[in-house]
Chains A and B, each alone.
Chain A
Amino acid sequence: MHIYDGDWMSFFGTVVVEVDDGTGDVLTHTTHNRITNSCIEYIFKRMVFEDVVHPVSIRLGNGGRGPSSYNPKTDTALPTPDDMSDIYNPILSPKPAVRTRDGASVLYTIVEPWVVPYNPISERQNVNEMGLYFGSFLAAHTTIVDLNYLISERKRHGRWLSGTYTDEHYVNVTWKFTFGRRSDQAGGFMIGGDVV
């Protein structure tokens, strides 16, 4: 069997992270993910014989970068297709997520936010990776810039000089699988006839 230059049915994952600093001023960050091989196997089995629909959860971690440096030379934490059991260093309990369908997309949304303390000095509670779990296995994995780092950058630029912010941040995550037609002839990934 060969791969053809033609039409493929595809989906990719998008992770939307919303951080509320306690004042209702929500920062939104969107990134992509690595779909694991075990996820692809599971969906394939669902197509052929598997009746079990696993409960879904999302987990945060701080192993998404090197342990003490952002130096890419020491950064070995890029998600790989073989990340099947867990994210690199989970720091908070998984949150159950609800599955919903939105047209050709499937959304996994946590039912309540995490409360993450802001700590500009310690990396202990930095959040820089997230995992989507189907049952006990890791289905998708993403790494992001540390939330605390971004927040401190924001503070440094003077957005939070009013003193109304709290030291706790509320983190919401929505994981989205967007289905589309990957058409080499059309020159890209198509959703509803539009190349995106």
Chain B
Amino acid sequence: MVDETEYTFDDYTKIAKRNHDVKPTVKDGFAISGELTLRVLRKDGSVEEEKLPNLIVNGAFNYLPQLLVGNTNARINTMSVGTGGWDHELGVPKLVMPSDGALFNHYQSGIMTYYGGSPPEGEVEGIQWRTEPQRHTPGHPEYSPFIGIATYAYTFDCKTDTAHINESALFVSDGTMFSKRTFPARVLSFGEFLEIVWEIGVTRF
């Protein structure tokens, strides 16, 4: 007797799996996350440091497919800081939205250079990267959750009497914002510096 059921290909996959208990292929993929370290370098030599996670904004979701298809070779090379990241009404940092494409109030930008490895001695600014897939193995004594990390560093100076820096962002060379963060203001006086080290890590999920 002919079975008149309209089976689909996936139905047959289920039949085969039921009959033979075939393991399904793992569903996993690629993932990017980032964090920035803020270092305020005071005139008296003291250093104030804090690490914060960032938000990777929608611009990055346009940029990376372009990079994969080969439509662009643009790179993340610009870091910016601003003074508009504080919500004075609520008394908290403004919410960063995935749709953000610019700082709330731009103060200063810096272009970073890729040195092809470590920067020249004494140079803290620039772009470095490292991959360590061996350490990304469960059970490794120095396990790293990331397969690779790119580090972007820039030092901003205070060009005015005081500056209330409370937002920062990374940009691709074509002007696309990649990631952003707001935070309580770092108040700089003339002659003081804000060093930002931004790490972008890639891994699987």
Contacts and interface: CB of A to CB of B under 8 A. Distances in A.
B67 to A, nearest CB: 5
B10 A30 contact: yes
Contact of A46 (B29, B68, B204): B68
A85 interface: no
A160 to B, nearest CB: 11
Interface string B34-71: 01000000000000000001011000111011111111
B147 A37 contact: yes
A116 interface: no
Contact of A101 (B16, B33, B66): B66
Contact of A70 (B20, B116, B133, B200): B20
A149 B73 CA distance: 44
Contacts of B62: 104
B26 A29 contact: no
Interface residues of B, number: 66
Interface of B is mostly: mixed
Interface string A1-41: 11110111111110000010000000111111111010111
Interface stretch (B1-9, B86-94, B102-110, B160-168): B1-9
A9 B7 CA distance: 37
A44 B30 CA distance: 10
Contact of B204 (A35, A49, A51, A180): A35
B118 interface: no
B9 A35 contact: no
B150 A47 contact: yes
A1 B9 contact: no
B2 A161 contact: yes
A104 B70 contact: no
B29 A12 contact: yes
A47 B150 CA distance: 9
Contacts of B76: 47-48
Contacts of B203: 3, 40
A53 B199 contact: no
Contacts of A101: 65-66, 69, 71
Contact of A10 (B22, B31, B114, B145): B31
A142 B20 contact: no
7 closest A-B pairs by CB: A12-B29, A53-B70, A32-B27, A70-B20, A27-B9, A158-B2, A44-B148
Given A12-B27, A150-B16, 10 more contacts: A6-B33, A35-B30, A40-B204, A45-B131, A48-B76, A49-B114, A104-B62, A154-B12, A158-B3, A159-B7
15 contacts: A1-B149, A8-B32, A8-B56, A10-B31, A28-B9, A34-B25, A35-B28, A40-B204, A44-B131, A47-B64, A47-B67, A47-B76, A65-B22, A70-B20, A181-B61
